[in-house]
Structure 1
Amino acid sequence: MKVLVVGGGGREHALCWKLKQSPLCTGLWCAPGNAGIADVATCVPLSAEDVPGLVRFARETGIDFVVVGPEQPLVLGLVDALRAAGIKAFGPTGAAAAIEGSKGFMKDLCARHGVPTAAYGRFTDPDAAKAFIRAQGAPIVVKTDGLAAGKGVIICQTVAEALAAIDSIMLDKQFGAAGAEVVVEEFLDGEEASFFALCDGNTAIPLGGAQDHKRAFDGDQGPNTGGMGTYSPAPVLTPELEARIMAETVLPTVRGMAAEGRPFTGILFAGIMVVPGPDGQPVPKLLEFNARFGDPECQVLMMRMKSDLLQALVAAADGQLDRIDLDWHADAALCVVMAADGYPGDYAKGTEIRGLDAARVIEDVTVFHAGTRRAEDGRVLANGGRVLGVTARARTIIDAQRQAYAAVDLIDWPEGFCRRDIGWRAIRRG
């Protein structure tokens, strides 16, 4: 099969790296790609959001299968446009991607189908949202309804903070049109983890869990980011909890979407908060759904997957997941994100990254590129906020951590930084 991957970040590098290993893959392209992706695929200078351009390229190149990485082209209806052109694609339709594109839609869907999640209200009127906040008290969470590049969630410790968040989102338009509607919901106090399932429109099979580190600095300090590192499996998600997430969250959602005429095909990413139940036992509650692989969670999942990824994605797109039995390495995987100084605020682009070849020599380490480009003279330059995902696979989390940081220390990039404590929760659990 000729395969096109849409996107240009660390998630897409991991997908290309894994798809390239499939004996079914006879040609691999990525739009727009990056300097690392160029080592395994042919990069195409098209934006991930250029729906007509991507469809035209796929048709002219004879692409057999398209894998869509980021959320924005999914919400824009890229999969619908590809299918209308007779091109098979992996990912939800625009109607199904509303599960990520609209938090209000997602919360209402959960309410209709009994999926355990935080109590909430949704509002287009700022005064009504404020009245709800005053009635509920704090801590409380304010979210933009629409896509805000992972930044539209504000955890408010006081009522005053929540009221200010409403003003910022709805009156000052901090997140633009994404904040025309807000969801205000109960604050869940527990341990957060990510759970992934592969869906074919009618059913789903688990891909397992991971645990991300959102804060910029060690000790979970500093501003929220798109993710500074992750590991899999996540010890907080015991086999019992993963079974409950499939039974109580994933499968009711997939069946509910199908019943409502929006069958979900693709990756369902459930953000889970594990909270104490009435008897003190852990209970999984849904924070939100995403309609694609996470980044950097995709990197660790791809390192752990033994099975042929392309075969699995095609089966999902064809509605034939009953023919797939996924196989996984028993090892753990851990990813350390290297970011540009200043991220998630202002940062410089164009700084040179050296030592990448030396880092690759570390056993079972792959350096996935997220925000890089190659200069005309061959040098690799930083071209984003999150720039590299140094990912290791080993028998235990602590072994994978040791290998990943050994590779990090061989990368010569003075203008970058990383957290030095990725994996601390799992290691603390022993």
Structure 2
Amino acid sequence: MNILLIGGGGREHALTWKLAQSPRVKKLYCAPGNPGIAAIAECVDIDVTDNEALGKFALEHSIGLTVVGPELPLTNGLVDHFAGLGLKVFGPSQKAAQLEGSKAFAKEIMHKYNIPTAASAAFTNADSAIAYIKKQGAPIVVKADGLAAGKGVVVAMTVKEAVDAVNMMMCDKAFGQAGSLVVIEEYLEGEEASLLAFTDGFIVAPMVAAQDHKRIFDNDQGPNTGGMGTYAPAPVVTSEIRDQVRREVLQPVVDAMRQEGIIYKGCLYAGLMITAKGPKVIEFNARFGDPETQVVLPLLDSDLVDIMEACVDGRLADANIVWKQQAAVCVVLAAGGYPGSYNKGDVISGIGQAEAQGVMVFHAGTGTKNGQLVTNGGRVLGVTAVAQDIKTAVDKVYQAVPKIEFAGRQYRTDIAHRAFNRK
């Protein structure tokens, strides 16, 4: 069949790479794609928010399955538009995608259906939010309600930091409309992990647990980013905890959405804090994580097309989902200055030499200029190594990473450090 993938980042490169392995794929298209994706799919210059143009393309090119990568097309109703055209599409509807699109909506669902999460309150007025912060004290967490490209969360260690965060979001409009409502949460102690799952709206099939590294510098220092690297499986999520999350978080939220009249199909991402009192939800995402996808999909031993089609058709129970008994580590190479302002258009070299070490290089923020590969985003590339265990995968990835060069290149040297520092 012909498949259309929506998006153009590292997650989408990993998805394209995995989809291309299916013998069922006749032709792969990606809108808009990137130079790395262009090596395995035909890239089409259509904006991810242009539902009409994407739908027209899918009909004209006999697309049998569309896979939505980023969150924006989901909250923009792309899935509903495609369904209305009679097209098969993997991803949640606009209403279902509210789980990611609105932190306040997700909190309401969790509190209503007793899904373990931090205590919280939502505010549309900055003064009320600040009064609540002063009453609660710090540490405390301030979140913009809407989409803010993974940067709308401030973990404030002092009351002043929290007040500044509210002012930044609500008064300075740092995230536009996304910050007109803020959610203020209790600070959770523990270790973070991500558990993604396939779902057809009735049952859930958890993937391999991963752990992201949000801060820009080693030892989790510096400002938050969209993610500087990840690894899987994350040892903090034991098989018992994984099963507990399936029973107490993933299955209940899919059931809760159905109770609310919303069938949630696609990928459900639970961002978790593993606390002394058990796993609690920090946030839900309505799609594959980035960079989690770059380590989870290389460990999938089954046909991704079959699984996605089973989710769309409501027959996930029949799907064959097998995971490799291996480990994967991804290190993100970012532009100098990221997550602040950064340069674009710097020439990238050494990808071939890195790949010769047996790693996969996923393009995230790349472009072409005068026939050369150049930087075109904050997170530029993700280098993924697969091996029999985490330590071997770490050694393998860090042999390859230095071979890739561009001006100002920065990356963390301690991805997966928590796997080795466990008590």
Using the size of structure 1 for normalisation, the TM-score is: 0.96
Q: CA deviation at 1:128?
A: 2.0
Partner amino acid, structure 1, of 2:262: R
After TM superposition, the structure 1 = structure 2 runs for residues 134-145 of structure 1, keeping only pairs within 5 Å, are 134-145=134-145
Q: Could you tell me how far 1:429 is from its partner in structure 2?
A: 2.8
Alignment of 1:40-59 (within 5 A): 40-59=40-59
Determine the C-alpha separation between the residues in 2 that align with 1:386 and 1:172: 26
- Per the TM alignment, residue 330 of structure 1 is displaced from its structure 2 partner at its CA by 0.6
State the identity as a percent.
Answer: 52
1:163 Cα deviation (Å)?
A: 2.1
The equivalent of 1:271 in structure 2 is 271
Match of 1:372 among 362, 366, 375: 366
| Counterpart residue identity of residue 40, structure 1 | I
1:159 maps to: 159
2:329 aligned with 1:351 = no
Quick one: distance in 2 between partners of 1:167 and 1:389? 34
Where 2:403 maps in the other structure, the secondary structure is coil
Give the 3-state SS of the residue equivalent to 1:96 in structure 2.
coil
Within 1, Cα distance between the matches of 2:33 and 2:319? 29
Counterpart residue number, 2:318: 323
| Aligned equivalents of 1:388, 1:168: Cα separation in 2 | 30
Deviation of residue 296 (structure 1)?
0.6
Aligned to 2:70: 70
Q: Secondary structure at the match of 1:66?
A: strand
Structure 1 spans left out of the alignment, 5+ residues: 278-282
CA contact (8 A) 2:345 2:369 kept: no
1:224-239 matches, within 5 Å, as 224-239=224-239
Residue 376 of structure 1, CA deviation = 4.4
Write out per-residue CA displacement over residues 210-264 of structure 1, whole angstroms, 9 at most, x where no aligned residue: 0011111111111111001000000000011001100000000000101111111
AA aligned to 2:374 is L
Q: Which amino acid aligns with 2:16?
A: C
1:300 aligns with 2:283: no
Letter in 2 for 1:292: R
- Unaligned 5+ segments in structure 2 are none
CA–CA distance in 2 between the matches of 1:323 and 1:156? 45
Q: Secondary structure at the match of 2:211?
A: strand
Q: How far apart, in 2, do the equivalents of 1:121 and 1:28 lie?
A: 44
Q: Which moved more, 1:159-168 or 1:31-40?
A: 159-168
Shift in Å at residue 407 of structure 1? 1.3
- On the 8 A contact 2:228/2:411 being kept in 1, the answer is yes
Residue in 2 that maps onto 1:408: 401
Are residues 86 and 222 of structure 1, via their aligned partners in 2, closer, same or farther at CA, if it must alter by over 3 Å? same
Counterpart secondary structure, 2:219 = coil
Deviation of the 1:168 alpha carbon: 1.8
What residue in structure 1 maps to residue 412 of structure 2?
A: 419
Backbone CA RMSD of aligned residues: 1.1
Shift of residue 193, structure 1, vs aligned partner = 0.7
- Find the aligned partners of 1:374 and 1:164 in 2 and give their Cα distance: 39
Report the equivalent of 1:262. Answer: 262
**What amino acid sits opposite 1:331 in the alignment?**
Q
Letter in 2 for 1:271: G
- Secondary structure of the corresponding residue to residue 210 of structure 2: strand
Deviations, residues 15-45 of structure 1 (Å, cap 9, x unaligned): 0000000011111000110010001100001
